[in-house]
Structure 1
Amino acid sequence: MGSPLYLSISISLLNLLLLFFLVSSVRPLCHPDERSALLQFKESFVINNSASGSLDAHAKTESWKLERESGDCCSWDGVECDNGTGHVTGLNLGSSYLYGSIDSSSSLFHLVHLQRLNLADNVFKNSKVPSEVRNLSRLTSLNLSYSEFSGQIPSEILELSELQLLDLSGNSLKLRKTGLSSLLEKLTKLQVLYLTDVRISSSVPNILANFSSLKALILSNCDLRGEFPTGIFELPALQFLSLRSNPKLTGYLPDIQSNHPLLKLSLANTSFFGQMPESFGNFNFWRPIPPSLGNLKQLMTLDFSHNNFSGEIPSSLVNLTQLVYLSLATNHFDPGTISWLGTQINLSYLGLSNTRLAGTIPSALKNLTQITSLDLWSNRLEGQIPPWIGNLTKLTRIQFQENILSGPIPESIFKLENLELLYLHANQLNGILKLDSFLELKNLTRLQLSGNNLSLLNTVGINATAPKLKLLGLASCNLSEFPDFLRSQDELEFLELAGNNIHGQIPKWFLRVGKETLWYLNLGFNFLTRFEELPAVLPWTSLELFKLKSNMFQGPLPHPPPSIVDYVFSNNSLSGEIPPILCNLSFLVALDLSDNNLTGILPRCLVNLSDSLEVLNLRNNHFAGAIPSTYTKSCGLRMMDLSQNQLKGRVPRSLAHCTKLEFLNLGNNLINDTFPSWLGTLPELKVLILRANGLHGVIGKPQAKSEFSKLQVIDLSDNSLRGKLPSEYFSVWVAMKLANTTSLSPYMKANTSFKARGYSLSNNYPYVVTLANKDRDLNYENVPDSISAIDLSSNQFQGEIPEVIGNLKLIRMLNLSNNNITGHIPSSLGEITNLESLDLSRNKLSGQIPQQLANINFLEVFKVSYNNLEGPSWIPLIMIRTREIQDCVDTLCQKIVEILKSCSHHLL
């Protein structure tokens, strides 16, 4: 038995140990100064439920109170403290609905013990990143992403030398002054760097290849340039790499081993080049994807979209069984199939749009039971949509548009309860379907069936329950009336009913469809006559594009809402004048009222729209008076067509301010002016039509060699111009000599494409001209971008045809007929080898037709009648095409037909 002293010491030690454990288990309260700083920070913002986009967002600061139970700031939502010191070391306020501004005076920068700071997914109203961020020198993690910061990233951020994670993505920030090189030289401990959307505008420094601990590098849409360092691909810890949307960034992939930990690789929309490694095959980014790509078996995300890959899609992709996201969209692959698919059973997103896929939809796709989004649009897929598509029950998006799929839409599609988007437009699908079959898909928000051979039965009743649609495309679906279920569609944003058989009036109830949400409405190519009840202003308050082209609309032009951007009422029977309300449309980009019966003078205030207006088409109406004449230097017009009216006066000199103008057609009016040579200063002018007016005087000489440098089509026919042919202009019309190799379109047009509310639209307004070709006037609804034409016919030009005209080697139509031209036909015309139509008739030409004209291989029309020419024996007589010979041939042919008919009758 122990002594009392020993027992006393033992009990004392036990008490001390118990006291130690009790003290150590009690977390210290937060420091009052830090608690005060947090409360001040909270009070500098308001809570706005629209300030955060995450589904997990909640107002974390609402728990920050001084009550006894919650007075310890270390227990507040989003606040972390050190268990030993009680100092605030972590602040996670991501997705907290914070709305307001932040600057260097913020109490946030009093929390000098912070190691982790997350303010992502809030709204700081274009605040600058405060320079006082340098006070937080212990930070290892800083996340300011998607919170509406703007301006230059301050150099003080370089003082945060302990940073391991830096995320500044999704803001309007610039790194130009600080520089990516400086950032990397100072922040040497970085393991995660997210700079998506930050304007870097420089190359990627080689020093980044020394960051052996780097796990994630996301530099998407940073305006990166130069060659990407190959050593970065070899970093041993790198798992996530995205360089997407840097079209000026080049580089090539080095030899990457198959055991590399890479999980995500995105090089979409870049300009990589050069030899690829042996493990990727000896190819470059302008050649096939190598089969050895299948070695990266841990890869979960692969995005090579919007590049220039060619060849076949390698079957070795069958090895990438861990893929969750795969996009090879928009490349130049050889036409082929996707039979290699099916083993990627974890795949959630498949993007193979615009990859030249051919054949039928492969049955291997049925194995992708986790797929939610299937994008195969803009390919060459044919055959029917397979019924097993209904077994992929997790599908939320199907995009099969712009293929050559045929047959009926399978009934199994209507069993996809999770389906939100169904795009089947621009195929060859056929059959008769009930519209209510689609409306049974209760999660459906976007349905596009336009441009097929479908017939939709409108059997849905007025009181039927239908999903709330945002997009509905039913163009060319053989509808004969407006579907009644539209009465309940108050969230509709996009509605397309063009190309149907809808007759009569637009019903009064239709004006309530998407009244506050509708921004695109296309009712073109129907048989609509008027609104049942015409409102003072169209009621759709968000309407931006309204197309009612090619109907039978009568009466005055409906007044569009102030939000309108594109307003198209062409090819109807509208009457009356242009209402003054149009002059208040500050967002108007395109106004097309051509081919109607509109009258009156053009409002002078139309000029005020020219800052925003790019397309003005008032062709073929009955407008009179002068053309508005006060265009300013801010003019944005690209296309102006006022032809086939009764407009008088002069061509407005102020049009010289419209430096973006490509197409100007003032033909068939009553304009009384001299040749507007000052239009030669317009740097983009391609088409100039002034035919059938009262132009007079001589054309003269250009003042500079750059005048009319892009002119391809000029028509001055049927005027009263005199003097010599403009040989000096023939010398400077460069676009008629050298082919345009930069054009991205086969036709001349104004494109008013823009993105709005998640949609990308391409609104093309083709340049329409009437040219004398192939012995008759041809109406070109789509003018080929390769075309060049000169029509100076029916004037009073004198003198000889200059030899220099032979330098205009791209001309396909040349008409100098019905003038007073003398002298010989120049042999240089034989150098215009693309010439299809040459009309020199009704002049005073003499001498022999030059033998060099035999070099013109494409010449279909050659008219030299009513001259004093001598035709040499090598030219077929019929080629001269005099009216007398042509009449003789026509009469002879008619006689032969009559004889053959007679013989046939006797033989029977």
Structure 2
Amino acid sequence: MASWNSSMDCCRWKGVTCDIFTGHVIGLNLSNSILGGTIHPNSSLFQLHHLQTLDLSSNYFSDSHIPPSIGQLVNLAHLNLSYCYFRGRIPLEISYLSRLVSLDLSDERSLLQLNQFVFRMLFQNLTKLELLSLTPINISSSIPINVSSSLRYLDLAATNLHGDLPKSIFLLPNLETLRLSYNAHLTVSMPKFNWSSSHSLRELELSSTNISGGLPSSLGTLKALKVVGFYYCNLAGPFPESIRNLSQITRLDLSYNHLEGEVPDAFSNAQKLTFVSLESNSFNGPFPSSLRNHFSGPLSLIQNKLKGEIGAQMFSSLKYLDLSSNNLSGEVEEVMFSSMQNLYLLDLSSNNLSGEVEAEMFSSMQNLYFLDLSRSGLSWSSNKDSTNTTIPHLRFLWLRFCHVKDFPDFLSNSKELWILDLSENEIHGQFPKWFGGLVALQSLNLSHNYLTSLDHLPWQTPVFVDLQTNSPSEPLPSSLCKLSYLTFLDLSYNNLSAEIPNCLVTSARLEILDLRANNFHGLLPNKFPKNSGLIHFSLSKNQLEGPIPTSLVNCTYLQVLDLGNNKIRDTFPTWLETLQELEILILESNRFYGPIVAFKTKSPFPSLSIFDLSGNSFTGSLPIEVLKGFKAMMNMNADKSKRGYLFDGAYYLQGSTSGESYDEESMILFTKNQETKFNKILRIFTTIDLSRNKFEGEIPKFIGNLNSLLLLNLSHNNLTGHIPIEMRNMSTLEALDLSYNQLSGKIPEELANLTFLVVLNLSHNHLVGPIPRSNQFNTFTDDSYFGNHDLCGFPLSNECGQHKSSFVPVSLVEQEEEEEPGFLSEMTWQSALIGFCCGLTFGFAILYIIYRFQRPRWFIDFLETITHEMIYRVQRGRKRRMNNHQKRQ
């Protein structure tokens, strides 16, 4: 519009079209004109009554609603307001534009709402409509039956549609594109009848809807169909063989469904096919031979049950091949890779292959930038000198658990290498000198090897470094202080012995720092900058002393603070209450002392899910003011916004390997002395452990308000009084330990209402009277009540009503010396934070749980939830990664 000159005829202005006979303005195209602000209802724009085309797309009217005055432009045939960032309700007046042929209100953010009445009026009045795009406007409606027969293009993706899709949609004679993806509550029944051979449907996108009845064979009668998108549609049954009739198809996505059986050789006629994704189904049998030669990819069959050998005649035209997470077997020889010269991506991870491979086998793949052989069954041979071998464009290399014994020396030529994962191998010694020359390296995972030195690392370039569980016994190298871009550093489970250098915490970029299980000593650095980006800080199992550094208040994004199992001597750091994002606070097994008082905010720690102060010397009454602030432990079932996973949505550069993903949390459970790692931890995993302290007084009645708490451990204190009846409100509680206290009175009958309670320990108190009877209490053994000599009833041997003299217990100190702790008292809230898996991920961890008896139901359910969610999120991350790399190429 800067070129518009009022001294010139407006019909000559850029973007303006006039009728050649009348001179009336009939077209206005101001797309991509950097316009902003508000469009006022009395704008002169709405006086252009002869306007037939109005295109304001890709501008920035973020402060504006769509004015009702738009209804005055009654001659409009084409209206494009897409990507304008309008907000608010779409006015009814837009349905007055009965001459509209195309209407595009799509955007990348759903800031617009369209009520059901206006939505139905659009279909009722706009009878000439050929193009309608409303994604991702929140409509929350079913689709009306009266759809314009002129419709060629319909895009209602991610509009929160529900109900049944009218079958009449499939009968529209001119329909070419139908996009209804990401409407999870929309049910689609595909027609069973054969479409006319002249039917014009070319694109059918129904991903993330509920397709009932599976895919009918009639799909193959849509001869013009080019794009089929049925991702995550709950499809079941066999692969639809009728797809062999779709000779024009270019893109097929049937991923994340429940399809089974063999994938038939149904692609011989699909000469134009450029993308196939069948991942995350239950396909078995051999690889379909019709995808081998002419198909150029991408091709994804990950997370299925394909078996048999890959075959000697490989995919000569293929550019992207992902067969990870299957049951493929057989010996892999060099001849298998010789014909795959066009490959950009090769992923064979998580299979049952055999044989040795070496760098020279892949040297003919001059375009290869992504190679993942992790847990494939293949062994990487280092017998042959490969310093003259080059894979010039290699950027991503995963050789996790490939029996690698030395650093692959061909990498000395890999100047573009960005991500390297050699974890869980047998590499001994130190980094070769050439390693410091990997100037493009962004992510390095060498965890679970046998490195003895950290010299020659290119510390200035990496963003992600994982060196956990090696065996260097040296101090931290001074070169570590040269880090400029480091975001993730894991040196846990090593033998590093030194004071923690100040430079390690002064970086504003660092988000994850895990130094667990080393021999770090001295004081914690007190140099956290005001712009700190730290999210996860874990220093447990070291020899650190002194107070907690007060500069931690600058870490306003901090979600995890784990300082457990050190020698820190301090009072409770009440100033941490300012960290509103903190979700896990673990200070267990230190030398903290004194009462917990003097909070300034009304609701301290509102996001906290895990609170562990066990094994210290805290005194006074239980910290009621802290408990009142735990909003994340209250009413979680009612507040769905509190659900989900810790660090949900976090993203790092590491890439992806073998079915794991660093953009998700992981969880480490210590059962006896065995460590088990699982991805992801639910926010509903809420726990409080104040055991093994010197708290006294009564258990506050307020504790019953923590009705989303999963586990509560107050054992080994000096608590007195009765068990509060209000604990009946803790409806989600599944583990409760009040053992080794001075509690008296009866066990409240109301606790029988805690139907999820699986683990209970009330031993070594002064409780009296009958044990409540209920289905839940009937499952507990006598160990739950041992040391309460005036209790009676099942499962104890003394029956109620029989006289028995009261037993005067020995002192609590003597009890602790003489008796073993109860099974929940034995729980240690080990935070194994950042127990990450390998690949495009960062893992986050916690964990605990050591007890003697049965694993509770919540534990089993929790692990099942983790498994299913992990598969979904990992594969989604892998798909995103593949798409991103395609775009770059």
Name the TM-score class by shorter chain.
0.7 to 0.9
Partners of 1:590 and 1:138 in 2: how far apart? 59
Please, which moves more after superposition, 849-858 or 155-164?
Answer: 155-164
Partners of 2:229 and 2:535 in 1: how far apart? 36
Instruction: State the one-letter code of the partner of 1:467.
Output: Q
Q: Find out whether 1:545 has 2:443 as its counterpart.
A: yes
Aligned residue in 1 for 2:608 = 711
Aligned residue in 1 for 2:284 = 382
Q: Identify which of 230, 235, 239 aligns with 1:328.
A: 230
Question: In structure 2, the residue corresponding to 1:796 is in which secondary structure?
Answer: coil
Q: Find out whether 1:647 has 2:544 as its counterpart.
A: yes
Question: In structure 1, the residue corresponding to 2:433 is in which secondary structure?
Answer: coil
What percent of counterpart residues are identical? 30
Please, which moves more after superposition, 654-663 or 461-470?
Answer: 461-470
Partners of 2:56 and 2:661 in 1: how far apart? 32
Q: Find out whether 1:624 has 2:521 as its counterpart.
A: yes
Question: Is contact 1:301-1:323 (8 Å) kept?
Answer: yes
Q: Identify which of 132, 149, 158 aligns with 1:269.
A: 158
Question: Is contact 2:113-2:137 (8 Å) kept?
Answer: no
Aligned residue in 2 for 1:54 = none
Q: Find out whether 1:398 has 2:284 as its counterpart.
A: no
Question: Is contact 2:418-2:443 (8 Å) kept?
Answer: yes
How far has the Cα of 1:502 moved from its partner? 0.6
Q: 1:571 to 1:165 in 2, by over 3 A?
A: farther
Partners of 1:510 and 1:756 in 2: how far apart? 18
How far has the Cα of 1:695 moved from its partner? 0.7
Question: Is contact 2:64-2:87 (8 Å) kept?
Answer: no
How far has the Cα of 1:867 moved from its partner? 3.9
How far has the Cα of 1:655 moved from its partner? 2.5
Question: In structure 1, the residue corresponding to 2:506 is in which secondary structure?
Answer: helix
Q: 1:755 to 1:500 in 2, by over 3 A?
A: closer
Aligned residue in 1 for 2:884 = none
Aligned residue in 2 for 1:260 = 150
How far has the Cα of 1:569 moved from its partner? 1.6
Q: TM-score, normalization: structure 1?
A: 0.71
Once the two structures are superposed, the pairs formed by residues 217-236 of structure 1 within 5 Å of their partners are 217=104, 219-221=106-108, 223=110, 225-227=112-114, 229-230=119-120, 235=126
Question: Is contact 1:383-1:406 (8 Å) kept?
Answer: yes
Where do 5+ consecutive residues of structure 1 fail to align? 1-102, 119-135, 888-908
Once the two structures are superposed, the pairs formed by residues 332-351 of structure 1 within 5 Å of their partners are 332-333=234-235, 337-339=239-241, 341-351=243-253
Q: Identify which of 635, 638, 659 aligns with 2:556.
A: 659
Q: Identify which of 534, 557, 565 aligns with 1:637.
A: 534
- State the Cα deviation string for residues 264-297 of structure 1 (Å, max 9, x = none): 4433333234665462499986132133598793
Question: In structure 1, the residue corresponding to 2:325 is in which secondary structure?
Answer: coil
Instruction: State the one-letter code of the partner of 2:413.
Output: R
Partners of 2:93 and 2:653 in 1: how far apart? 38
Instruction: State the one-letter code of the partner of 1:821.
Output: L
Aligned residue in 1 for 2:574 = 677
Aligned residue in 2 for 1:174 = 60
Aligned residue in 2 for 1:479 = 379
Q: Identify which of 297, 320, 333 aligns with 1:421.
A: 320
Question: In structure 2, the residue corresponding to 1:685 is in which secondary structure?
Answer: coil
Question: In structure 2, the residue corresponding to 1:472 is in which secondary structure?
Answer: strand
Aligned residue in 1 for 2:419 = 520
Q: Identify which of 593, 604, 609 aligns with 1:696.
A: 593
Aligned residue in 1 for 2:101 = 214
How far has the Cα of 1:455 moved from its partner? 2.5
Question: Is contact 1:309-1:332 (8 Å) kept?
Answer: yes
Q: Identify which of 621, 624, 631 aligns with 1:724.
A: 621
Partners of 1:555 and 1:756 in 2: how far apart? 23
Q: 1:476 to 1:797 in 2, by over 3 A?
A: same
Please, which moves more after superposition, 588-597 or 202-211?
Answer: 202-211
Q: 1:755 to 1:842 in 2, by over 3 A?
A: closer
Instruction: State the one-letter code of the partner of 2:702.
Output: V
Question: In structure 2, the residue corresponding to 1:357 is in which secondary structure?
Answer: strand
Where do 5+ consecutive residues of structure 2 fail to align? 17-22, 172-179, 773-777, 788-814, 822-889
Instruction: State the one-letter code of the partner of 1:569.
Output: L
Question: Is contact 1:200-1:222 (8 Å) kept?
Answer: no
Question: Is contact 1:303-1:326 (8 Å) kept?
Answer: yes
- State the Cα deviation string for residues 723-747 of structure 1 (Å, max 9, x = none): 1222343344333332355479875
Q: Find out whether 1:443 has 2:342 as its counterpart.
A: yes
Question: Is contact 2:86-2:112 (8 Å) kept?
Answer: no
Q: 1:342 to 1:485 in 2, by over 3 A?
A: farther
Aligned residue in 1 for 2:365 = 466
Aligned residue in 1 for 2:836 = none
- State the Cα deviation string for residues 600-630 of structure 1 (Å, max 9, x = none): 22232333323x3322211112222322334
Q: 1:574 to 1:279 in 2, by over 3 A?
A: same
Question: In structure 2, the residue corresponding to 1:574 is in which secondary structure?
Answer: coil
Instruction: State the one-letter code of the partner of 1:418.
Output: S
- State the Cα deviation string for residues 121-163 of structure 1 (Å, max 9, x = none): xxxxxxxxxxxxxxx9989686977xxx756399899699998
Partners of 2:159 and 2:427 in 1: how far apart? 48
Taking only aligned residues, the RMSD between alpha carbons, in angstroms, comes to 4.5
Q: Identify which of 291, 310, 314 aligns with 1:409.
A: 310
Aligned residue in 1 for 2:565 = 668
How far has the Cα of 1:641 moved from its partner? 0.9
Question: In structure 2, the residue corresponding to 1:279 is in which secondary structure?
Answer: helix
Q: Identify which of 178, 199, 202 aligns with 2:85.
A: 199
Aligned residue in 1 for 2:174 = none
Partners of 1:522 and 1:363 in 2: how far apart? 36
Q: 1:389 to 1:850 in 2, by over 3 A?
A: same
Aligned residue in 2 for 1:554 = 452
Question: Is contact 2:585-2:611 (8 Å) kept?
Answer: yes
Instruction: State the one-letter code of the partner of 2:712.
Output: L
How far has the Cα of 1:396 moved from its partner? 2.6
Aligned residue in 1 for 2:36 = 152
Aligned residue in 1 for 2:498 = 600
Question: In structure 1, the residue corresponding to 2:702 is in which secondary structure?
Answer: helix
How far has the Cα of 1:344 moved from its partner? 2.7
Partners of 1:471 and 1:117 in 2: how far apart? 46
Question: Is contact 1:871-1:880 (8 Å) kept?
Answer: no
Aligned residue in 2 for 1:50 = none
Q: TM-score, normalization: structure 2?
A: 0.73
Aligned residue in 2 for 1:24 = none
Question: In structure 2, the residue corresponding to 1:691 is in which secondary structure?
Answer: coil
Aligned residue in 1 for 2:256 = 354
Q: 1:212 to 1:506 in 2, by over 3 A?
A: same
Partners of 1:714 and 1:686 in 2: how far apart? 8
Question: Is contact 1:806-1:832 (8 Å) kept?
Answer: yes
Q: Identify which of 784, 792, 796 aligns with 1:879.
A: 784
Q: Identify which of 379, 392, 398 aligns with 1:496.
A: 398
Partners of 1:795 and 1:548 in 2: how far apart? 39
Partners of 1:455 and 1:192 in 2: how far apart? 61
